[in-house]
A and B are shown apart, each in its own frame.
Chain A
Amino acid sequence: MDNKKDVKGFLEFVYEFYKSMKAHEITLVYEGEITHQITKAFTSLTESNMAKEDEPGAVQRKVFHVMVECLQNISKHADDFTSSDFLFSGRGIFLVSKGDNEYSVTTGNAVDNDRIEELTTMLETINKMDKDELKGLYKRQMKEGRLSDKGGAGLGFIDIKRKTGKELEYHFLPISNDTSFFLLTSTISRDD
């Protein structure tokens, strides 16, 4: 930004960005490395906002659960990434939006293409399961699964579906020949 015109163009972009956030009812957006500190900061921020707005306890708890699991998914998996493209390594986008009827928590992070099949199968399996099947799967995974080196228990997606009662919506967008951007969104009903 070495001249006035560029600055003006940038500020106009910021305003467009702001309007676009408002239009999509986005209350929190972050791009960058997801650490434990970030997880704590975002959950406590969202928690205090919800408390201020007298959101029912059950809704607050569900949003908290989903946020923690989504953030930990990124912090534990975003760097599984073997690509040399450091632009995406260990990072991700995280956003929370709040509509009249629901909250949604969305994450996006780069994944190697060879993980797409595994992720798709896992998400499809979980999405198809009913309450009791999910409960059985959670118990089985808790008993038989092992904690990964990064402390993941392989339970996050199951827990999100159980807590929200809604399918996990996801999408893969190509970044390069080897990598894709993995987007996942979970919605929490406010009518509970």
Chain B
Amino acid sequence: MENIKIQGTEDTPKVILDKDNEIMEISGRSLPEDVASFYDPVLTWLEEYSQNPNKKTIFNFKLVYFNTASSKLLLDILMKLEEIHEAGNDVLIRWHFPEDDEDMEEAGEEYADIVDVPFEQVSYSL
């Protein structure tokens, strides 16, 4: 399947979805003008990926900022990953947050509460 590679901008995150090289990542800032249309290709890609996923899926979130509208779409992505996990596949979410950013750390904890999928919190220094 085709890879997705979107360069990050000041208001949209960098997105890499590469099945063959097992790289899945959303990073940077997310406050797109139209959240639904920005994340639509990501959800479509995951839908297709879920038909025939890799043995192990590691999905990295490394966001420094996201607005409330994006938070809803991030949950949609996580729920897709949950489906893949529920279908009996190995899935791991890695939630990266700047070490001094409690809100971003807490956002990860909240998502981990909502979706039933292995979740790992990873702190990093900027």
Interface residues in chain A, defined as those with a beta carbon under 8 Å from any beta carbon in chain B: 36, 39-40, 44, 57-58, 61, 64-65, 68-69, 72, 135, 138-139, 142-143, 145, 147, 151-153, 155-156, 158-159, 163
Question: Given the known A-B contacts A139-B110, A139-B113, A145-B72, are A68 and B67 also in contact in the complex, defined by CB atoms under 8 Å?
Answer: yes
Specify which chain B residues have a CB less than 8 angstroms from the CB of A156 in the assembled complex.
68
Q: Does B103 reach chain A (CB closer than 8 Å)?
A: yes
Smallest beta-carbon distance B25→chain A, Å: 22
Chain B residue with the shortest CB-CB distance to A145:
B72
Question: Do A44 and B75 touch across chains, with their CB atoms under 8 A apart?
Answer: no
Question: Do B72 and A142 touch across chains, with their CB atoms under 8 A apart?
Answer: yes
A163 and B69 CA atoms in complex are apart in Å by 15
What are 6 residue pairs bridging A and B, where the CB atoms are less than 8 Å apart in the complex? Answer: A40-B11, A68-B31, A142-B75, A145-B72, A152-B69, A153-B72
Chain A residue with the shortest CB-CB distance to B73:
A147
Specify which chain A residues have a CB less than 8 angstroms from the CB of B69 in the assembled complex.
72, 147, 151-153, 155
Question: Do B100 and A57 touch across chains, with their CB atoms under 8 A apart?
Answer: yes
Q: Does B20 reach chain A (CB closer than 8 Å)?
A: no
Specify which chain B residues have a CB less than 8 angstroms from the CB of A65 in the assembled complex.
65, 67, 103
Q: Does B36 reach chain A (CB closer than 8 Å)?
A: yes
Interface string of B1-39 (1 = CB under 8 A from A): 000000000110000000000000000000101111000
Chain B residue with the shortest CB-CB distance to A69:
B68
Interface string of B85-125 (1 = CB under 8 A from A): 00000000000000011110000001001100000000000
Question: Given the known A-B contacts A44-B10, A151-B35, A155-B71, are A61 and B113 also in contact in the complex, defined by CB atoms under 8 Å?
Answer: no
A58 and B69 CA atoms in complex are apart in Å by 21
Nearest 3 pairs between A and B by C-beta? Answer: A155-B68, A36-B33, A153-B72
Specify which chain B residues have a CB less than 8 angstroms from the CB of A163 in the assembled complex.
103
Chain B residue with the shortest CB-CB distance to A155:
B68
Chain B residue with the shortest CB-CB distance to A62:
B103
A139 and B73 CA atoms in complex are apart in Å by 13
Question: Given the known A-B contacts A58-B100, A64-B65, A147-B36, are A153 and B71 also in contact in the complex, defined by CB atoms under 8 Å?
Answer: yes
Question: Do A142 and B71 touch across chains, with their CB atoms under 8 A apart?
Answer: yes
Chain B residue with the shortest CB-CB distance to A140:
B114
Specify which chain A residues have a CB less than 8 angstroms from the CB of B11 in the assembled complex.
36, 40
Specify which chain B residues have a CB less than 8 angstroms from the CB of A57 in the assembled complex.
100-101
Q: Known contacts A40-B11, A143-B114; can you find 8 more A-B pairs with CB under 8 A?
A: A58-B101, A61-B65, A61-B101, A65-B65, A145-B72, A151-B34, A151-B35, A158-B68
A159 and B72 CA atoms in complex are apart in Å by 12
A58 and B36 CA atoms in complex are apart in Å by 28
A159 and B33 CA atoms in complex are apart in Å by 18
Question: Do A147 and B35 touch across chains, with their CB atoms under 8 A apart?
Answer: yes
A158 and B113 CA atoms in complex are apart in Å by 18
